[in-house]
Amino acid sequence: MPGIFVTSRPARVLIIDDDESTRVTFAQMLRLEGHEVRTAQNANAGLDEASLLAPDAIIVDLHMPAMDGLTFVQRLRAQEHGHMTPVAIVTGDYSLKDTVSDSLKELGVTLCFKPLWLEDLVKLATGLLSDTDSSRSEPPPIAH
């Protein structure tokens, strides 16, 4: 009797950061780990990408112009496709207000502080993706 092979696809990771060098660096590091990576330069574009890509995990900067990372996550969680997507907020702001930190916890967001070195980013992505590993064998339909 022939065996049944389940082919898993690479994890889809979306990186949202207004700083181009951070976006490019994070994307390159995660691609080297075998992930499919898309990027967005702001939160509005990130919401659009999340709708199209159906990412397995999202890494987003906290402080961005127009819409910050917290507002991005609140809007993402309000959408059907994004209410369960693992999200990490990265920031260089070590004096984060307790209200922001509490809101992130309530939204189920992982909080990380910059700088993130290769090992840190890989560990972060691995942690975010650990809850979605079983769902990656069949890609969800992509909205058009």
In CATH, what number is assigned to the domain containing residue 96?
A: 3.40.50.2300
E strands along the chain, which residues? 12-16, 36-40, 57-61, 87-91, 110-113
> Could you tell me if residue 140 is inside a domain?
no
> Could you tell me if residue 54 is inside a domain?
yes
- Residues facing residue 89 across a β-bridge: 60, 111
Domain ranges, residue 35: 12-131
**Number of domains comprising the chain:** 1
**Whole-angstrom Cα distance, residue 138 to residue 20?**
32
> Could you tell me if residue 117 is inside a domain?
yes
- 109, 132 Cβ separation under 8 angstroms: no
pTM value is: 0.85
pLDDT tens readout for residues 89-138: 999 999 999 999 999 999 999 999 999 999 999 999 999 999 665 444 34
pLDDT of residue 3: 54
> Could you tell me if residue 28 is inside a domain?
yes
Q: How far is CA 77 from the centre of its chain?
A: 13
Peptide bond into 2 cis (omega under 30): no
> Could you tell me if residue 42 is inside a domain?
yes
> Could you tell me if residue 76 is inside a domain?
yes
Q: Which residue type is seen at 76? A: L
